[in-house]
Amino acid sequence: MRLLVINGSPRGSRSNSLVIANHFLSGIKAALQNDLQPEVVNLIEEHSALSDVTDRIAVTDKVLFAFPLYVDSMPGLVMGLFETLYNLRGRLSGKEFLFSIQCGFPETLNLRFVERYLQKLTGRLGADYGGCISRGGMEGARFLSEDSQILQRYRELGEIYGKTGKLDKDLLGKIADPERIPLAAKAIALALSPIGIFDKYWNKQLKSNGVFRRRNDRPYEE
């Protein structure tokens, strides 16, 4: 099996999307071993030569597109690639498209409308839709330990896919949980929010980039 993994995250090799895709890929490798020929492309490093990427898509068996959603939107470089793929219509028959999408928002519900779009897009391009792996709350995936439950589930999903050629529906549901945050949990979050307990991670990111003092700037109001 020739499998092309396209990482559409602007963070490239340092991204959560690649961490997730690699764990799914390791599961497939465990099942197929020498029968798998994987290739990984970080789109941010090659987006200026999309024709090279589409050429690789044209000669592979399966493609896994992995990317994050930022405020419910896919990265522009991913959309640019999808638009370029229309040039391959008529040459994608028999090729399977898989998708792995995630976001920082905790509810997987935020991803479902993009999931539906991806299924429609695959059909319009003339490829076969293999399914979509969706998960919210994954902003910190690159900091998780190898034996974390969620990453184990991605590996298990990959292993089952390697054996059956299908994404296991039960595992997809477990990975997606929570689809919605329970009302009680939302109430607790609202009560704790004024304390600033949920700001620690983002404050750390702001400080590491030297912009903590400017966190309340509103440049578009000037």
- What is the tens place of the pLDDT at every residue in 138-176? 998 999 999 999 999 999 999 999 999 999 999 999 999
Query: To 10 degrees, what angle do helices 50-59 and 76-85 make?
Result: 60
- Percent of the chain clearing pLDDT 70 (strictly above): 100
Q: How, if at all, do strands 96-102 and 128-135 pair?
A: parallel
Chain length of the chain:
222
Distance CA 66, CA 142 (A): 14
**Residue from 110, 107, 111, 128 nearest 119 by CA:** 128
pLDDT score of 196: 83
Domains with residue ranges and CATH for the chain:
2-176 (3.40.50.360), 183-215 (no CATH)
pLDDT score of 124: 97
pLDDT at 63 over 70: yes
Q: How, if at all, do strands 128-135 and 62-68 pair?
A: unpaired
pLDDT score of 191: 83
Distance CA 30, CA 211 (A): 43
Distance CA 7, CA 17 (A): 7
108 close to 177: Cβ distance less than 8 angstroms:
yes
pLDDT at 189 over 80: no
CB proximity list for 176: less than 8 A, separation 6 or greater: 108, 134, 135, 136
pLDDT at 48 over 80: no
Instruction: Name the H helices within the chain.
Output: 16-32, 43-46, 50-59, 76-85, 112-125, 149-164, 169-176, 183-192, 200-208
- What is the tens place of the pLDDT at every residue in 76-112? 999 999 999 999 999 999 999 999 999 999 999 999 9
pLDDT score of 49: 83
pLDDT score of 222: 62
9 close to 44: Cβ distance less than 8 angstroms:
yes
The predicted model gives 120-145 an average pLDDT of 96
